[in-house]
Structures are given as structure tokens and as C-alpha cells.
């Protein structure tokens, strides 16, 4: 990690912290996720997936490092933050923006599905906004109950591509119920 200057915390998960960072001797900003080393196997599985992806609709993975107590994962930095913050701050987005966002989320899911990946956690907090206003899906992790398809709550859950589209519909319905407009 000696190649990076670490700045403010920009996010936090159940098992990790995310910081804004800058690659030394450059003006390139990154997002750095720090996770306790005891989660190394899970993190390395995620890294194996992420390093194979190349899509403008999926957060770009750059590298990972191991220190004495942590695993550090380097991602592209999305200056716009996450979709949850945007829709919380600005409830009346223009229809053209909403259509563009819907397209980006569908393209992200389509890319993951075409690579055999069921996303399982599409929610506003896991959708990031880049410097051009485009959306990128982030995190490959178990789902969040509010957005999970009903079949995932059964005794023997069935994960399928349809589960991701259920989450997309839940996201759209949540938006519609909050301000009367749909995505």
C-alpha cells in the first residue's frame, strides 16, 4: 500500500471500510477497500471474479494487496458516490436521467449474466455513479433482504438470473412509492 495516499472514508460495509486514495506520483484517484485478513478466502474469491470483468457497467478492479492485518482491494473511484445518496438528495431526477440509469443497470446485469454471474445484491447503495453520470454495479455479495426475490427466502433457495431482475423491479418500485415517479 506504500504506492497510495489514503484519504477520507467514503463508505463502510458490514466487514469493510472504503477510502478515497490517490496513486503516488500521479493524479489518479482510486477507491481502496480494507477488510480484515480473517476474511481472506472470501475476498480472494471475489477478486478472482472481479479481475476477469471488463465492462463500463461494472466497477473496475485494479489490484489487491495484503498487509499484516488487512486485505486491500483497489477499485476505480466513482466521484458521483452511490445511487442511494443521489435519490435521497434529489428526489425529482429528470426522466432522461432515470431512463439512462435504468439502461445502465440492465446492461450491468446483462454483462454479469452473460459471464454466468448472478449478482444477488442489486440495491441503490451498490450502484455507483462515475464522472460522466453513468452507473456501475459494485460488490458481489449475498443479497439484501429488502431487494431479494421471494424464492431466496425459501428453505432451499433458488438463485437465478430472474432474482436479479426481481431486485431491479424492487428498486424501481421503491423509487416510485417514495415520490410517485417510476424509473
**Catalytic residue numbers?**
121
Q: What is the dihedral of CA 162, 49, 147, 88, to 10 degrees?
A: -130
Lookup: cell for 174: 421503491
CB contact set of 159 (below 8 Å; sequence gap of 6+): 118, 120, 152
**What does the alpha-carbon distance between residue 65 and residue 57 come to, in Å, rounded to a whole number?**
24
CB contact set of 65 (below 8 Å; sequence gap of 6+): 1, 71, 72, 74
**Do the annotations mark residue 33 as ligand-binding?**
yes
Q: Is residue 36 within 8 Å of residue 69, measured between CB atoms?
A: yes
Pairing type for strands 70-76 and 127-129 reads unpaired
Lookup: cell for 31: 477507491
**What does the alpha-carbon distance between residue 171 and residue 182 come to, in Å, rounded to a whole number?**
10
Binding site as annotated, residues for ATP: 33
Binding site as annotated, residues: 33
Amino acid at each position: 500500500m506504500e504506492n497510495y495516499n489514503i484519504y477520507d472514508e467514503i463508505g463502510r460495509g458490514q466487514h469493510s471500510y472504503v477510502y478515497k486514495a490517490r496513486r503516488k506520483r500521479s493524479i489518479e484517484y482510486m477507491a481502496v477497500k480494507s477488510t480484515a485478513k480473517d476474511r481472506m478466502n472470501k475476498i480472494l474469491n471475489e477478486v478472482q471474479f472481479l479481475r476477469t470483468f471488463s465492462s463500463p457497467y461494472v466497477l473496475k478492479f485494479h489490484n489487491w494487496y495484503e498487509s499484516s492485518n488487512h486485505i486491500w482491494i483497489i477499485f476505480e473511484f466513482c466521484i458521483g458516490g452511490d445511487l442511494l445518496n443521489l435519490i435521497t438528495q434529489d428526489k425529482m431526477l429528470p426522466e432522461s436521467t432515470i431512463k439512462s440509469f435504468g439502461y445502465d443497470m440492465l446492461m450491468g446485469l446483462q454483462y454479469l449474466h452473460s459471464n454466468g454471474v448472478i449478482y444477488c445484491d442489486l440495491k441503490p447503495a451498490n450502484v455507483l455513479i462515475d464522472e460522466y453520470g453513468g452507473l456501475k454495479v459494485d460488490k458481489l455479495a449475498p443479497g439484501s433482504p429488502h431487494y431479494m426475490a421471494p424464492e431466496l427466502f425459501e428453505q432451499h433457495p433458488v438463485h437465478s438470473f430472474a432474482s436479479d431482475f426481481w431486485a431491479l423491479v424492487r428498486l424501481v418500485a421503491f423509487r416510485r412509492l417514495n415520490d410517485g415517479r417510476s424509473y
